[in-house]
Amino acid sequence: METEAPPSSLDARFPSAGRGPWSHIPETDWNDWRWQLRHRITTLEQLEALMPLAPEERAGITLAGSKLAMAITPFFFNLIDRNGPSCPIRRQVIPRIEETHTAAWEAFDPLGEDTHSPVPGLVHRYPDRVLFLVTDRCAAYCRYCTRSRLVSGAGPVEFHPHFEEAIAYIERTPTIRDVLLSGGDPLLFTDDKLEYLLRRLRAIKHVEFLRIGTRIPIFLPQRVTPELCAMLRKFHPLWMSVHMNHPKEATSEVRDALARLADAGIPLGNQSVLLNGVNDTPAVMKDLVHKLLMMRVRPYYIYQCDPIAGSAHLRSTVAKGIEIIEALRGHTTGYAVPTFVIDAPGGGGKVPISPEYVVANDEGRIIIRNYEGKVFVYTEDGAAKEEFPPVEYEIGRFE
């Protein structure tokens, strides 16, 4: 007879989001993902009834309908500090007037996705993989979204994916072995609609690898039902990239949703965006990556925030990203260290940005430094035969 595992001492690190202003709602409704979607906060009047707003927020919400709509699930709203304008959750989902300010180096399509789109909804930028944008809707809208020109229906571009054209392109392009479903958020589809797409893609012989990019487990963990997980496990190898930016997002509900996916055999990776005032300190990011590992999610990427129009107030610096990697590498388990990348503007792809650990290459002696700043020598084969003991060297000696 099986017995339940005793409560973990780590459970306290994953508090529930609670039901907040919706405590009167029946639990069955609260846990229904469709109820959560129907009751999203989408207007200034709804939000002002729930919390005081800063003037910059009020002005931003008024103008949000012309660029990127506002939508916040009741579940995710409960993570907001309603009396703290600098709350890291608040900064991610509540519009601000700064979104209307566009710097000269910002763009509406900073990654050049539209120029690498052979058919509507498909981006073919890398040799062996494609990005399949299947929808323009999300459960909630991140204010730094690199596809704000497409998603939510509020921007200037009308997005109409052509599933059959996209699938036909993949079928006739045998170099494609990896398909990433994104959008918008694919997990907003019904189980049947998502299964149809996955089944069509899995039937293509040269497609080896399917991925789903989603923020649903964080914005709307109620969507990750046992039925959804049972359907997804039919299509292995299937991987999933989730998007969590701050340790406060690691609630017990999110942990349980991710556990259902992991138990279905789906490897999970996390992509964070480096955001000013949200996660651009070593302490916050270390807390986040540790919580991710405890939820069986591998920290995968930290993205430098793309130069999307109106995002300057949220964009941190590359130096901050390097500082964070320095603070993680060697100071915590390697599994917890993501790759810091800049997605090169114009469609150049992801470029890893790392601290400089190679100090010099001195005729086959590779002078390297470790996480403590200590310097060592590695001798390559074919270099001078003189023995160099693996002892510390002074950096100044090789400058």
Cα torsion through 313, 318, 322, 325, rounded to 10:
50
Catalytic, out of 109, 143, 144, 145: 145
Q: Which helix (H) or strand (E) holds 273?
A: strand 268-274
* 87 catalytic residue (yes or no): no
- Find residue 133's DSSP bridge partners: 182
Residue 80: strand, helix, or coil: coil
Written as six digits, the tokens of 346 are 């114009």
Catalytic, out of 40, 90, 306, 315: 306
* 298 catalytic residue (yes or no): no
Burial 281-291 (b: 16+ CB within 10 A, else e): eeebbbbbbbb
Written as six digits, the tokens of 360 are 């010099």
CA-based nearest residue to 73, from 181, 215, 186, 213: 215
* 248 catalytic residue (yes or no): no
* 199 catalytic residue (yes or no): no
Catalytic, out of 13, 19, 129, 369: 129
Catalytic, out of 87, 91, 142, 169: 142
* 67 catalytic residue (yes or no): no
* 350 catalytic residue (yes or no): yes
Classify strands 209-214 and 238-242 as parallel, antiparallel or unpaired.
parallel
Give the list of residues 6+ apart from residue 38 with CB closer than 8 angstroms, or none.
Answer: none
Half-sphere exposure of 30 (CA within 13 A, CB side): 16
Catalytic, out of 126, 300, 371, 393: 126
Catalytic, out of 67, 91, 96, 125: 125
DSSP class of 72: B
* 126 catalytic residue (yes or no): yes
Show the DSSP H helices in the chain as ranges.
27-30, 33-38, 44-48, 55-64, 74-77, 88-93, 163-171, 191-202, 216-219, 226-232, 252-263, 282-294, 318-328
Give the list of residues 6+ apart from residue 389 with CB closer than 8 angstroms, or none.
Answer: none
Catalytic, out of 40, 96, 136, 138: 138
Classify strands 365-369 and 358-362 as parallel, antiparallel or unpaired.
antiparallel
Length of the chain: 399
Evaluate the omega torsion of the peptide bond into residue 237 and state whether it is cis, within 30 degrees of 0.
yes
Catalytic, out of 185, 301, 343, 365: 343
Alpha-carbon span 194 to 4, nearest angstrom:
33
Catalytic, out of 67, 96, 143, 147: 147
* 142 catalytic residue (yes or no): yes
Catalytic, out of 82, 350, 369, 393: 350
Alpha-carbon span 179 to 202, nearest angstrom:
10
CA-based nearest residue to 282, from 374, 218, 345, 355: 355
Catalytic residues: 125-126, 129, 138, 142, 145, 147, 306, 343, 350
